[in-house]
């Protein structure tokens, strides 16, 4: 059931990504070259709505509708990997003009070039996990913010 719900929300997310033309590398390039404020305003709006919504859930001590547990959020403390990892990600984003959501959505729109970005991603993600193990936690990874 959890997987079904996750799929449905993913579908909604993918639909909006495609509709907002975030799957168009030229749009992302204009954003990063500061020629177009559209996506910055969109992110700020999403942040505001998400802050309001998730805060309401937590202050009202809401229980998850499907799974029943208390809605709860735990944060990982700020670590060096958040900075170093984000630098690598930022470089990759500027080169490909696609971040992970749009990579998946490009695939759904039949932009086959994204298969290459995805292949690189899969190799990189697996490589990172192996490095994290081999360096005994010094090169750490986590799953989620």
Partner 1 sequence: MLADRPHWLVSGILFGLLVTGLLWAINRRLGVSGGIAEIADRLTGRLSSFGPRSFFVFGIVGGALVFSLAGSGFRTGDSYGWLGQHGEAVTAAALLGGGLLIGIGTRSAGGCTSGHGICGTALGSKASFVATMVFMATAIGAAFVLDGIV
Q: Is 90 in the site for partner 1 (CB under 8 A)?
A: yes
Q: Is 53 in the site for partner 1 (CB under 8 A)?
A: yes
CB nearer to partner 1: pick between 15 and 136: 15
Question: 């490589």: which residue's tokens?
Answer: 127
Name residues contacting partner 1, limited to 95-124 (CB under 8 A): 95-97, 99-101, 103-114, 116-124
Provide CB contacts within 8 A for 23, sequence distance 6+.
17, 98, 102, 105, 106, 109, 111
Q: Is 88 in the site for partner 1 (CB under 8 A)?
A: yes
Q: Is 137 in the site for partner 1 (CB under 8 A)?
A: no
For the CA atoms of 74, 77, 81, 83, what is the dihedral angle to 10 degrees? 100
CB nearer to partner 1: pick between 83 and 136: 83
Provide CB contacts within 8 A for 38, sequence distance 6+.
31
Question: 């993918």: which residue's tokens?
Answer: 14
Q: What minimum distance in Å lies between the beta carbon of 61 and partner 1?
A: 12
**CA 43/CA 32 separation, integer angstroms:** 14
Q: Is 138 in the site for partner 1 (CB under 8 A)?
A: no
Q: What minimum distance in Å lies between the beta carbon of 55 and partner 1?
A: 8
For the CA atoms of 66, 71, 76, 77, what is the dihedral angle to 10 degrees? 170
CB nearer to partner 1: pick between 33 and 134: 33
Name residues contacting partner 1, limited to 22-51 (CB under 8 A): 23-27, 29, 32-34, 38-39, 41-51
């Amino acid at each position: 059931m959890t997987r079904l719900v996750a799929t449905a929300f993913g579908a909604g997310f993918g639909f909006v990504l495609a509709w907002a033309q975030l799957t168009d590398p030229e749009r992302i390039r204009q954003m990063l070259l500061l020629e177009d404020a559209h996506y910055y305003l969109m992110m700020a709006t999403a942040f505001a709505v998400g802050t309001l919504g998730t805060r309401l859930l937590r202050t009202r001590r809401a229980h998850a509708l499907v799974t029943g547990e208390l809605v709860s959020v735990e944060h990982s403390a700020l670590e060096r990997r958040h900075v170093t990892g984000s630098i690598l990600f930022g470089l990759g984003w500027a080169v490909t003009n696609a971040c992970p959501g749009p990579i998946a959505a490009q695939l759904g729109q039949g932009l086959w070039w994204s298969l290459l970005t995805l292949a690189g991603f899969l190799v990189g993600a697996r490589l990172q996990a192996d490095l994290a193990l081999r360096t005994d936690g010094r090169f750490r990874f986590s799953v989620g913010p």
